Amino acid sequence: MPDFPLLRDQTRPVVGAARVTDILSARAAKSEPTLSFEFFPPKDDDGAATLWRSFDKLLEVNPDFVSVTYGAGGSNRETSLAVVDRMAKQVPTIGHLTCVGATRASTREVIERFEAAGVSSILALRGDSPRDNPNALAEGELKTALELVELVSRDTNLEVGVAAFPEKHPESPDLIHDAKVLSLKQAAGASYAMTQLFFTVEAYVELVESSRQAGATMPIIPGLMPISNADRIVRMAEMSGAKLPTELLKKFETADEAQARTIGIDYSIKLAADLVAAGAPGLHLFSLNLAKAALEVARGAGLCR
């Protein structure tokens, strides 16, 4: 693991064992949506400096919780755990956990370290086989996120969240299949879901409706990618299978970089506000470890307190 001096500043006490579902209920009682941010573990010292600068800025708007991604196959395990360890001392922190290629024993070990860091909620994911080990899924002991949900629910007191896909998971035949899987995860102990990125309120509403029809009643928190760069969002949409609206793509075609940024941020703010109006219990902003765009969207949609 590379040396991350910036990860070692652990000056504050662990923030209490706040659960996402309790936080959602508390906000719902006040008719307020939750605000939260996703971060990823940095690759080097420069990345660590950017992450902690952004984290400090985003903390200023009092997010309800944050989450930290975890590389499939455990590639960035130590860095992810170090980031979680530091963030959990300042704000309720969800540790993402993937199970692709993992053994039950190694998974339990990571869970124990999350618990020791003060984490009370885990986002249980399968992950995808990494490019350098395409057989990871076949080789690992756990084959689906459902099995990870079962393991965490059976062996620990941690709260478990799961992923949801407004435009269906790429390997799924349709939304109805995904909805059935979501209801199996709920039956196995999952109590909330967070979504993949998407770009229309209709996609979120369709996901929620199909999930409810399949019996999955858990809160589904939309994951929102602030659009600050047209080329990057087109690439990300392609990678995730999310459809960008034609009218937005058309606007990008005739815009220079600065205009495209304004168009993208305005679009993200409107989407955030529309999602809340459509009943979303909160918004989870994918920060990409950068504060500016996430703050603009959070402020623009009236989510900051």
- List of residues contacting ligand FAD (CB under 6 A): 69-72, 96, 98, 123, 125-128, 144-146, 163, 169, 171-172, 177-178, 181, 184, 194-196, 223
Question: Closest CB to ligand FAD among 19 and 126?
Answer: 126
Task: Give the shortest CB-255-to-ligand FAD separation in angstroms.
Answer: 29
Question: Closest CB to ligand FAD among 41 and 264?
Answer: 41
Question: Closest CB to ligand FAD among 145 and 208?
Answer: 145
Judge whether 139 counts as a catalytic residue. Answer: no
Task: Give the shortest CB-72-to-ligand FAD separation in angstroms.
Answer: 4
Question: Closest CB to ligand FAD among 10 and 172?
Answer: 172
Close Cβ partners of 208 (under 8 Å, ≥ 6 residues apart): 220, 279
Task: Give the shortest CB-116-to-ligand FAD separation in angstroms.
Answer: 20
The length of the chain in residues reads: 305
Which H, E and C letters describe 129-147, residue by residue? CCCCCCCHHHHCCCCCHHH
C-alpha closest to that of 217 among 167, 183, 166: 183
Instruction: Please state the separation of Cα 298 from the chain's center in Å.
Output: 16
C-alpha closest to that of 51 among 76, 78, 83, 74: 83
Task: Give the shortest CB-109-to-ligand FAD separation in angstroms.
Answer: 17
Write the DSSP assignment of 150-161 as a string of letters: HHHHHH---EEE
Residues noted as catalytic: 38
